[in-house]
Amino acid sequence: MECKIILMGFGSVGQGIANVIAMKKDIIKDNYDAELKLVAVADSSSSAICQEGLDEQLLIDTKKNKGKLSNYPEYGSDISGIDVLDAVEYDCLIECTPTNKETGEPAYSLTMKAFEARKDVVTSNKGHLALRFKDVIDAAEKNNVQFRYEATVGGAMPIINCAKDTLSSCKIESITGILNGTTNYILSRMTAEGSSYEDILKESQELGIAETDPTADVEGEDAACKTVILANSLLGVDATYTDVEVIGISNITSEAIELAKDAGYLIKLIGEVTPTTLKVSPRLVKKGSAYDVSGTLNMATIKTDLADEITVVGKGAGSIETASAMITDLISILKLKK
Amino acid sequence: MECKIILMGFGSVGQGIANVIAMKKDIIKDNYDAELKLVAVADSSSSAICQEGLDEQLLIDTKKNKGKLSNYPEYGSDISGIDVLDAVEYDCLIECTPTNKETGEPAYSLTMKAFEARKDVVTSNKGHLALRFKDVIDAAEKNNVQFRYEATVGGAMPIINCAKDTLSSCKIESITGILNGTTNYILSRMTAEGSSYEDILKESQELGIAETDPTADVEGEDAACKTVILANSLLGVDATYTDVEVIGISNITSEAIELAKDAGYLIKLIGEVTPTTLKVSPRLVKKGSAYDVSGTLNMATIKTDLADEITVVGKGAGSIETASAMITDLISILKLKK
């Protein structure tokens, strides 16, 4: 069986997808009898399109050395955005364009168009799901296609599939966790070094851990999107972004962190999801507790009716790590077709 | 669709299964279109058998108040053990007889007989898998039936399904963790209270956390069985119980724990699984590290090629908790039949 893939978005995660496909396509063919083929790869400005399949390494090299995918030898194209979905025949859309939590675009339109064409979709995009989760899920069901979004929450940390597939006998009662790696990194370093928020943020930006405009991370917006996705997908709550109460970490002082530390506590940005509460805020957590994970790690404690509390910890971001969650989603789809 | 179940073993976990089926059968019918029906429940001495289905609560009450399942009104029977599999028509065997790591029985014979009759099996029994993993898996494949065993490792903590289903894009390179709740409880209390091994063991026995004969737990044998199951199922290693290097905790003194504590360490019984090493032994772990989980909790860190390290933490035992893992396995089988 062939699995023809359109990859939309070719930043860090998109390039991770190309890398992981190059690494794993042989083993996936052996184990799941599916031949992965990138038939189109696009970013916001151009694309490379070839029905016979593109070369993963050449895609990465083209983007790195020649800036635009349209410079891909022979198959470079000026087609971009949603038009790419009409330019080639495909089975699955892997969608990792940047999250926009005001409009949900381009993810929403891309996903809906793929669904209407009866194509499966794997996404890492939080925007459309934080705004219109139910619309998207309903459209997938209506068109009888697969839709998977593990990578939207916690990068490599398995939480959505973990709760759905490995805790399927249980009712999920609540989820509490550290859902943003950048803020966890900043708070961890403030705690370890006693430095100010501003100094550590600046260094994090230099290291590429925080973005030039850090608002989405430090003001809790990214974590808030994730709480909405968890609430909808695992607790069956019909919620949207504006339902989340959000307080970020930009007002946390080194003095506050010191005071907490002296009392055996840490300050962490915690996302909380219950049937009635959606909240992201800095909280005191006990040193040595499940919430005591540092650096860019994410964690989540899933409270269930039968299995009590299950905690998962893993890398919240990273090109290959996030791509691994998306390829796991793709494999789950391939298993259903086998 | 009807799913007729034979439940073999009616101790703590078996009764947990009856409880969870009673609690969840309506929701399972709604979600997976499968009507769960206990058609036979047996322990080592007798059974209750009824093709129309038994009452879960009445089974538990019979065992509790009248000792033997043969006292189940109208459908009590003196048939026991493997003969039960011939006494009634069924779809799935849920096998939770006691683990015997010398013979693997009765689990091995029960499982093989079910496979030959083309029946699916869910087990919590470690004995046959620690001794003859490959034989059992091969027999399931040969007979084209489903076989699931999440509950054999870590009770409610999802690890086998987590690695197989939610990390399927990754190669599992190693697993390191606390795989036995009883020893973790004993070591945690020794650490917290400075008491001796003997004193805490005695109290643990009184509380029902340690067994009257605690050997399997405190000498590391239970954890060793689990390392064998993880090695076979997740690392593709063809290993058996005698391949594990095992050192238990019965020689750990309160002085050793104090010395470790002063240096910022804890002593934990750690199971380690790599392609070349199978080992259970007490080790120093850093306070505040992922291994710093106390009480009867289990944890495991799964090292992967793509997703780096994923850690899971959960209750390693408990009637309902372990049963929840088995019913999740059953649901995974039901999903395939849907």
| A234 has a pLDDT exceeding 80 | yes
Distance from C-alpha of B138 to C-alpha of B144, rounded to nearest angstrom: 10
Distance from C-alpha of B271 to C-alpha of B292, rounded to nearest angstrom: 14
Closest among A189, A154, A157 to A267, alpha carbons compared: A189
Closest among A212, A230, A223, A273 to A247, alpha carbons compared: A223
Q: Given this model, what pLDDT does residue A338 score? A: 76
Q: Do A307 and B292 touch (CB under 8 A)?
A: no
Which residues, in sequence order, are CB contacts of A106 under 8 Å at separation 6+?
Answer: A8, A81, A82, A97, A100
Q: Parallel, antiparallel, or unpaired: how do β-strands B2-8 and A147-148 relate?
A: unpaired
Q: Do B332 and A156 touch (CB under 8 A)?
A: no
pTM over 0.90: yes
Element (H, E) at B201: helix B197-206
Burial B4-23 (b: 16+ CB within 10 A, else e): bbbbbbbeebbbbbbbbbbb
Q: The domain A165-315 belongs to what CATH superfamily?
A: Dihydrodipicolinate Reductase; domain 2 (3.30.360.10)
Write out chain B residues lying below 8 Å of A323, CB-based: 306
Cβ(A17)–Cβ(A41) below 8 Å? no
pLDDT digits (tens, 9 = 90+) for B189-198: 999 999 999 9
Q: How many CA atoms lie within 13 A of B42 on its CB side?
A: 28
Mutant choice from B169, B176, B291 vs A, greatest count of A C-beta within 10 A: B169
**HEC assignment per residue over A243-279:** HCEECCCCCCCHHHHHHHHHCCEEEEEEEEECCCCEE
**Residues forming a β-bridge with B36:** B3
pLDDT digits (tens, 9 = 90+) for B65-119: 999 999 999 999 999 999 999 999 999 999 999 999 999 999 999 999 999 999 9
Distance from C-alpha of B283 to C-alpha of B13, rounded to nearest angstrom: 30
Which residue stretches of chain A are H helix? 12-32, 56-66, 84-87, 107-116, 127-142, 160-165, 181-193, 197-206, 215-218, 221-235, 254-262, 319-337
What is the residue whose two structure tokens read 């038939």?
A39
Write out chain A residues lying below 8 Å of B24, CB-based: 169
Q: Given this model, what pLDDT does residue B338 score? A: 76
pLDDT band at A319 (very low <50, low <70, confident <90, very high): very high
Q: Do A307 and B290 touch (CB under 8 A)?
A: no
Q: Do B315 and A308 touch (CB under 8 A)?
A: yes
Mutant choice from B94, B168, B335 vs A, greatest count of A C-beta within 10 A: B168
Q: Do B306 and A313 touch (CB under 8 A)?
A: no
Domains of chain B, residue spans: 2-156+319-337, 165-315
Question: What is the distance in angstroms between the Cα of A226 and the nearest Cα belonging to chain B?
Answer: 18
Distance from C-alpha of A258 to C-alpha of B305, rounded to nearest angstrom: 37
| Chain B positions touching chain A (beta carbons under 8 Å) | 20, 23-24, 150, 156-158, 161-162, 165-170, 287-288, 290, 292-293, 304, 306-315, 318, 320-321, 323-325, 327-328, 330-332
Both structure tokens of B56: 């879960």
Question: What is the distance in angstroms between the Cα of B120 and the nearest Cα belonging to chain A?
Answer: 18
Report whether the peptide linkage leading into residue B106 is cis, meaning its omega lies within 30 degrees of zero: yes
What is this model's ipTM?
0.95
Write out chain B residues lying below 8 Å of A177, CB-based: none
Of B169, B307, B331, which has the smallest distance from its Cβ to A169's Cβ? B331
pLDDT digits (tens, 9 = 90+) for A205-231: 999 899 999 999 999 999 999 999 999
Q: Do B311 and A312 touch (CB under 8 A)?
A: yes
Q: Do B306 and A323 touch (CB under 8 A)?
A: yes
- Return the percentage of chain A with pLDDT > 90, whole number: 97
Q: Do B308 and A292 touch (CB under 8 A)?
A: no
Q: Output DSSP code: residue A174.
A: E
Q: Given this model, what pLDDT does residue B98 score? A: 95
| A202 has a pLDDT exceeding 80 | yes
pLDDT band at B317 (very low <50, low <70, confident <90, very high): confident
Distance from C-alpha of B93 to C-alpha of A253, rounded to nearest angstrom: 58
| A237 has a pLDDT exceeding 90 | yes
Q: How many residues does chain A have?
A: 338
Mutant choice from B13, B122, B173, B306 vs A, greatest count of A C-beta within 10 A: B306
pLDDT band at A233 (very low <50, low <70, confident <90, very high): very high
Q: Output DSSP code: residue A203.
A: H
Topology adopted by domain B2-156+319-337: Rossmann fold (3.40.50)
Distance from C-alpha of A159 to C-alpha of B165, rounded to nearest angstrom: 12
Q: Do A169 and B306 touch (CB under 8 A)?
A: no
Distance from C-alpha of B259 to C-alpha of B255, rounded to nearest angstrom: 6
Question: What is the distance in angstroms between the Cα of B79 and the nearest Cα belonging to chain A?
Answer: 31
Q: How many CA atoms lie within 13 A of A249 on its CB side?
A: 35
Give the mean pLDDT of B290-310.
96
Question: What is the distance in angstroms between the Cα of A320 and the nearest Cα belonging to chain B?
Answer: 6
Q: Do domains A2-156+319-337 and A165-315 have the same CATH topology?
A: no
| B337 has a pLDDT exceeding 90 | no
Question: How many CB atoms sit inside 10 A of residue B309's CB?
Answer: 17
Cβ(A47)–Cβ(A84) below 8 Å? yes
Q: Given this model, what pLDDT does residue A288 score? A: 87
- Return the percentage of chain B with pLDDT > 90, whole number: 97
Determine the distance from the C-alpha atom of residue B288 to the mean position of all C-alpha atoms in its chain, rounded to a whole number: 27
Q: What is the DSSP string of B248-305?
A: -STT--HHHHHHHHHTTEEEEEEEEE-SS-EEEEEEEEETTSTT---TTEEEEEEEES
Both structure tokens of B51: 């093709």
Assess whether A226 carries a catalytic annotation: yes
pLDDT band at A317 (very low <50, low <70, confident <90, very high): confident
Question: What is the distance in angstroms between the Cα of B167 and the nearest Cα belonging to chain A?
Answer: 6
pLDDT digits (tens, 9 = 90+) for A62-77: 999 999 999 999 999 9
Write out chain A residues lying below 8 Å of B321, CB-based: 306-308
For A129, counting Cβ atoms within 10 Å of its Cβ (0-12 exposed, 13-18 middle, 19+ buried), the class is: buried
Residue A256, Ramachandran bin (φ over 0: left; ψ between -120 and 50: alpha; else beta): alpha
Distance from C-alpha of B70 to C-alpha of B62, rounded to nearest angstrom: 9
Q: Given this model, what pLDDT does residue A320 score? A: 96
Catalytic residue among B37, B226, B279, B315: B226
Query: How open is the CA angle B220-B221-B222, to the nearest 5 degrees?
Result: 95
pLDDT digits (tens, 9 = 90+) for A254-276: 999 999 999 999 999 999 999 99
pLDDT digits (tens, 9 = 90+) for A280-310: 999 999 998 999 999 999 999 999 999 999 9
Q: What is the DSSP string of A206-247?
A: HTTSS-SS-HHHHTSHHHHHHHHHHHHHHH-----GGG-EE-
Distance from C-alpha of B308 to C-alpha of A314, rounded to nearest angstrom: 8
| A16 has a pLDDT exceeding 80 | yes
pLDDT digits (tens, 9 = 90+) for B241-266: 999 999 999 999 999 999 999 999 99
Give the mean pLDDT of B28-40.
97
For B289, counting Cβ atoms within 10 Å of its Cβ (0-12 exposed, 13-18 middle, 19+ buried), the class is: middle
Give the mean pLDDT of B303-307.
97
Question: What is the distance in angstroms between the Cα of B78 and the nearest Cα belonging to chain A?
Answer: 32
Write out chain B residues lying below 8 Å of A304, CB-based: 324
Give the mean pLDDT of B144-171.
96
Q: What is the DSSP string of B1-50?
A: -EEEEEEE--SHHHHHHHHHHHHHHHHHHHHH--EEEEEEEE-SS-EEE-
Distance from C-alpha of B69 to C-alpha of B58, rounded to nearest angstrom: 10
- A102: helix, strand or coil: coil
Cβ–Cβ pairs < 8 A, chains A and B: 129
pLDDT band at B288 (very low <50, low <70, confident <90, very high): confident
Determine the distance from the C-alpha atom of residue B313 to the mean position of all C-alpha atoms in its chain, rounded to a whole number: 15
